[in-house]
Structure 1
Amino acid sequence: MGTNIVVTGGAAGLGYAIAEELVARGRGVVLLDRDETALKASVERLGGRDRAVGLTGDLSTVEGVRTAASALLARGDIGGLVNNAGGWLPDEQYPDAGPERWMAALTLNLTAPMLLTHLLWPMLSTAAGAVVNIGSSGGLGDAAYGSPEYGAAKAGLHRFTTSLAGRTDVRVMAVVPGWIGLERARKQWAALTGPERDEVGPLVHPEDIAAAVCTLLASGRAGEVVEMLNGHRP
């Protein structure tokens, strides 16, 4: 019971970096992702069924979250959860995007982590488990932001985490990174002017975020939030 860690959005990017670090530390992982092709390839790279398994699921709908939770509960061996899946949805953002689009973004970035945590809570509690939410600097501060729905969701995820500081059955924590040094962010950062780069700060290495996630899972305090801005922890 409670030996595996679920990583949502685990087939690529930061999710894969987190899964890779967990496997390196001797943990089994369940990668939950909607990209079945990438999922299969990532599971193979992580050592196949001896170390990792894949689960296809779409967390941008409540129905998809419930379906994924049912499959995870049926396994009965989950001891931790990393709510990593998220991001801006393509095309227009609020208020130009229609309600169905920005509500899907809220579901993916806030409702899904809350609901998946809620549905897995009994199993996690039995395993004295832990949850780490992946926030974003887009949810901090009061400056203008390109995707209001994403910023609002990530701000909500931060407060959701800290609101659970008093719980002793399941530890819920978060990491809040700045710009992550993945391919798309590297291209965007390279296109910035000097002053813009100074404002954004250095990119945060995915491996550093993965290490922080693993540390929280192992020994973090309920409600703890680790901010990793400007390329490093403040």
Structure 2
Amino acid sequence: MRTVVVTGGATGIGYAVAESFTRAGDHVVITGRRESALREAADRLGATAVPFDAADPAAVAAALADLPATVDVLVNNAGGNTDFDRPDDGDDLAALAANWRANLDANLLSAVLVTTALTPRLADDARIVTIGSIAARLGANSYGAAKAAVEAWTASLATQLGPRGITANVVSPGLIVATEFFRDRLTDDGVAQRVAATRNGRPGTTADVAATVDFLASPAAGHLTGQVVHVNGGAYLGR
């Protein structure tokens, strides 16, 4: 039985990833900021809930007492496009800086803080998988930039931890409709445009992403590290 930590595990991709590991018989710990939703998800999954804000250094440090002493798989899923929740910055440079920092905190710093805090607890041959985004290659302002930074950081992480047999990779989804990502703002036309860009003519599912994470977390993926695995139906060709 492996011990797995999934950040942002209450809904969407994080929930699907956690569910896949619990079905495999692993001990799964899910984290997130929304305590009520997190505990409800943990009850459904048969997982352990540890609520905290992964982008808050003090909160991460405080949560260590409740996180496992040994971690075999860490999935950094916490994040999302914070621009959906913040006012348009317009020409206000202070507001622009705050909006960019919000996305960097949510998507990059959250993964860096949790991974750094848990590095002493990672087992040899452990697996780190961070959820990226097609936006890192196609754009999306501060969100895309934050996800591009995740890719660069992961390359460094693979070098740092490789001597212990620990792998670090990014799973980069395209359109996944069954999540809270778009805050109900994605129109039918928006879905159609994104699907038209794929080679297989369909949106992705949370199960598509979870299956890719499963592989990267497996012993079969031991020589695959520092990579970005694109799960987008060919909307972006990672070659």
| Range into which the TM-score falls when normalised by the shorter chain | 0.7 to 0.9
Residue 77 of structure 2 contacts residue 130 of structure 2 at CA under 8 Å; is this kept in 1?
yes
CA deviations over 1:137-175 (Å, ceiling 9, x no partner): 11114x5x2xx2211110010122233444232211110
Q: 1:121 to 1:93 in 2, by over 3 A?
A: farther
Name the count of aligned residue pairs: 222
- C-alpha deviation, 1:187, in angstroms: 6.5
CA deviations over 1:12-36 (Å, ceiling 9, x no partner): 1111000001111121110001111
1:83 aligns to what?
A: 76
2:215 aligns to what?
A: 215
**TM-score of the aligned structures, taking structure 1 as reference length:** 0.83
- C-alpha deviation, 1:231, in angstroms: 6.8
Residue 175 of structure 2 contacts residue 194 of structure 2 at CA under 8 Å; is this kept in 1?
no
Q: CA RMSD in A?
A: 2.6
Q: What is the SS of the residue equivalent to 1:86? A: coil
Q: What is the SS of the residue equivalent to 2:79? A: coil
**TM-score of the aligned structures, taking structure 2 as reference length:** 0.82
2:54 aligns to what?
A: 59
Q: 1:104 to 1:62 in 2, by over 3 A?
A: farther
2:133 aligns to what?
A: 136
- C-alpha deviation, 1:197, in angstroms: 4.4
Aligned partner (choices 152, 159, 162) of residue 152 of structure 2 = 159
1:34 aligns to what?
A: 33
Letter of the structure 1 residue corresponding to residue 230 of structure 2: E
- Runs of 5+ unmatched residues, structure 2: none
CA deviations over 1:41-92 (Å, ceiling 9, x no partner): 1111113xxxx100000123232333334532xx313221100010112123
Q: 1:154 to 1:193 in 2, by over 3 A?
A: closer
Q: Percent identity?
A: 33
Residue 203 of structure 1 contacts residue 231 of structure 1 at CA under 8 Å; is this kept in 2?
no
CA deviations over 1:109-129 (Å, ceiling 9, x no partner): 0012112112211211x3431
Q: What is the SS of the residue equivalent to 1:129? A: strand
For 1:131 and 1:161, locate their aligned partners in 2 and report how far apart those are by CA, in whole Å.
9
For 1:178 and 1:109, locate their aligned partners in 2 and report how far apart those are by CA, in whole Å.
16
For 2:13 and 2:193, locate their aligned partners in 1 and report how far apart those are by CA, in whole Å.
27
After TM superposition, the structure 1 = structure 2 runs for residues 113-128 of structure 1, keeping only pairs within 5 Å, are: 113-124=111-122, 126-128=123-125
